[in-house]
Amino acid sequence: MARRRKHRLWTVAEKRSICSQTRAPGVSVAQVARRYALNANLIFKWLKDPRFAPAQTAPVESLFLPIEVQDRGASDVPAAAPARSRPDNLGRVEIVLGTGHRLSIEGSFDGAAIAELLKALVRP
């Protein structure tokens, strides 16, 4: 029977990545901890360490990505598809990254939160 290791070893880069995810708008330390099956107290401990904690006053970096706007005419919609009515304040955004990943957002959304998500996705 194989023995389970009690402690996981996280690299410095992994700790920095996990700590930086806690700074995204609308994301709590508890959510990030659940994502990685960690105790939130461990992340709080890492956040106190200047090696891992993201800068509090980091300037916001602008990032422009090439986009392609496609008109989805009536020919793209199947004839049997029922028409859906939407309130005026709801919309749909679909972003296809160069890696082939697709991000679809429908309804009301926070543009700043989407920008933070995109920055995290395109960083090397």
pLDDT tens across 16-61, in order? 999 999 888 888 999 999 999 999 999 999 999 988 877 665 455 6
**From 18-22, 32-36, 65-69, 112-116, the region with the lowest mean pLDDT:** 65-69
Q: Whose CA is closest to 117, among 24, 10, 7, 16?
A: 24
Question: Which residue pairs, CB below 8 angstroms and at least 24 apart, start in 66-69?
Answer: 67/95
N-term to C-term CA, the chain: 39
**CA 3 → CA 6, 10, 29, 38, distances in Å?**
9, 19, 30, 20
Q: What is the pLDDT of residue 119?
A: 75
Measured CA to CA, the distance from residue 76 to residue 78 in angstroms comes to 7
pLDDT band at 116 (very low <50, low <70, confident <90, very high): confident
pLDDT band at 114 (very low <50, low <70, confident <90, very high): confident
Measured CA to CA, the distance from residue 90 to residue 118 in angstroms comes to 21
Kindly report the pTM of this predicted structure.
0.42
Q: What is the pLDDT of residue 80?
A: 46
Q: What is the pLDDT of residue 6?
A: 72
Q: What is the pLDDT of residue 70?
A: 66
pLDDT tens across 73-109, in order? 555 545 544 445 545 556 677 777 766 677 777 777 7
Q: What is the pLDDT of residue 45?
A: 94
Tokens at 78, concatenated = 């199947």
